[in-house]
Amino acid sequence: MIFYKYLFKEIAKTQLVILVILLTVFLCQSLIRLISRAALGSIPVEIISSMALYSLPEIVLIMLPLTQFLAILLALGRICSDSEMVVLRSVGFSPVNVMGVTLVLALITALLCAVNSMIFIPKAAQARYELQQSTQNNPQFLPIESGRFVNLGERFTVYIDEVGGKAEDAQTVERIYVMDAPFDHERSSITLAERGYLQHDADNVRWLYLFDGKRYEGRGGEQGAFRRVNFTEFRAPVVRGPVAQSDDSSKDTQTTLQLLKSERVDYQVEAQWRLSAMFAVIVLSMVAVPLSMVNPRQGRFAKLMPALLIYAAYYMFLLSTRNLINHHQLPLYPGMFLVPVLFTLLVAVPLNLPRHYLHNLLKKDSPAAAQSAADLPPHKVAAAVDAASSAQAEVAAVARTAPPAAPTEAADAVSERSTDKQAQVQLPDKEP
């Protein structure tokens, strides 16, 4: 029982460390991508941390199988390279016991994958969608900055000299220049104001309020076609342009059970993709155990590169199957579930067979060789048997007549004669 706990603890500890490191790396990458979008004005700066947090479940879905795979390779590789596995086997701890410990941890990891894919991923996608919607409808999240041109909807282009404070439902600005359809020769206008603000009304419509300014209206290209209007207060509804985002009923926000019940192919493929992580954990764990059993002289990383190639091949096969199903070149069922089955039969099972099993299997006489020997003529079989008997008799005679003082020379003579006779005594080839 102590050995079981020791192996379980070593693998679990290594997996936790790898998971923390990889999550940190991928979160930093996600933050860099979100900061780039915020610099372009696609998303507000205030929601960067929330968006990165909501992307965690999707990252974990990919990381759990990889961390389990690497943890088995590194932990068991260290135990083998330090000759601890030799000691464990000397007391009866066989590779079957090692596989049992790793499969227990693999089942726990697969359960975490199932909970993550069925609960956390759709909830995080729904929260991300709601956050994006709130930023579109809340003025305090509008990407309005001093000294920049900002597009508000398809018509208005705004330049603001100074941005004031942000309230809960309004955002004040000063010295504003608003261009309404500036490239429309039939109808365009330019509005200048000393101050203003954006605000939502009771119907959740965004309004632009301007005070103490001038408005120029007319058609471009005609002399004297513009007219100037002075105003103390001006109000106009503005709508920001559409932002690429997930729809509320998209597959990202649907639960796994809802995706499986859907009649759309892309929805069911998304459900199979979420469930594939559970099977990947178990299959890759079965592959990692034999690859981690290294000779102490080889080092713990002797088989790391082949193992990573197998992991990459598994996911490339999985992604290729996913694309083929989406393009209707493969049936929906068995679909992506075929990948773990094939890898289990073609990779995991052969790797876990005893080393001498395939060797002995190949050394066995094939049915064709046995049939060939049976088809030999009887007189040739009898001649071969007589030659073998005479060879054995001659070898025995040499052994009896060898002088006692020279046992080594006698043994060498016996060995040489035995080798010569055995070389001569061969079954003759089958007659054509």
Is residue 246 within 8 Å of residue 252, measured between CB atoms?
yes
Strands, sheet with 206-218, edge to edge from the N-terminal-most edge strand: 148-152, 156-166, 170-180, 188-200, 206-218, 227-237
Q: What is the pLDDT of residue 69?
A: 94
DSSP class of residue 253?
A: S
User: Cβ contacts of residue 122 below 8 Å, gap of 6+?
Assistant: 252, 253, 254, 255, 256
Q: Which amino acid is at 357?
A: Y
- As given in the structure block, the two tokens for residue 94 are 């066989």
Element (H, E) at 237: strand 227-237
Is residue 150 within 8 Å of residue 160, measured between CB atoms?
yes
Is residue 174 within 8 Å of residue 194, measured between CB atoms?
yes
Separation CA 143–CA 200 (nearest Å):
16
Q: With 0-12 CB in 10 A as exposed, 13-18 as middle and 19+ as buried, what is 40?
A: exposed
Q: What is the pLDDT of residue 332?
A: 87
Give per-residue burial for 133-159: e unless 16+ CB within 10 Å, then b: eebeebbbbbbbeeeeeeebeebbbbe
What does the pLDDT profile of the chain (432 residues) look like in tens digits?
787 888 899 999 999 999 999 999 999 999 999 888 877 666 777 788 888 899 899 999 999 999 999 999 999 988 888 888 888 888 888 888 889 999 999 999 999 999 998 889 999 988 888 887 777 655 555 555 566 677 666 667 777 776 665 544 455 667 777 777 655 656 677 888 888 777 766 666 667 788 888 888 776 555 556 778 888 888 877 654 444 444 444 778 888 888 888 888 888 998 899 999 999 999 999 999 999 888 877 777 888 888 999 999 999 999 999 999 988 888 888 889 999 999 999 999 988 887 666 566 666 545 554 455 455 566 555 665 566 666 666 656 655 665 554 444 444 544 454 444 444 444 444 443
DSSP class of residue 377?
A: -
pLDDT (tens digit per residue) in 92-147: 888 888 899 999 999 999 999 999 988 899 999 888 888 877 776 555 555 555 66
- As given in the structure block, the two tokens for residue 334 are 């068995």
User: Cβ contacts of residue 389 below 8 Å, gap of 6+?
Assistant: none
- As given in the structure block, the two tokens for residue 335 are 């679909």
Q: What is the pLDDT of residue 207?
A: 74
Q: What's the number of CA atoms in the CB half-sphere (13 Å) around residue 184? A: 14
Helix (H), strand (E) counts: the chain: 15, 6
Separation CA 142–CA 152 (nearest Å):
10
Is residue 391 within 8 Å of residue 418, measured between CB atoms?
yes
Q: Where are the alpha helices (DSSP H) in 243-354?
A: 256-261, 265-292, 304-326, 338-343, 349-352
- As given in the structure block, the two tokens for residue 403 are 């002088």
Q: What is the pLDDT of residue 302?
A: 81
- As given in the structure block, the two tokens for residue 390 are 């005479």
The 10 Å Cβ neighbour count of residue 414 is 17
- As given in the structure block, the two tokens for residue 237 are 């509804």
Please state whether the peptide bond connecting residue 377 to the residue before it is cis, i.e. omega within 30 degrees of 0: no
Q: Which amino acid is at 184?
A: D
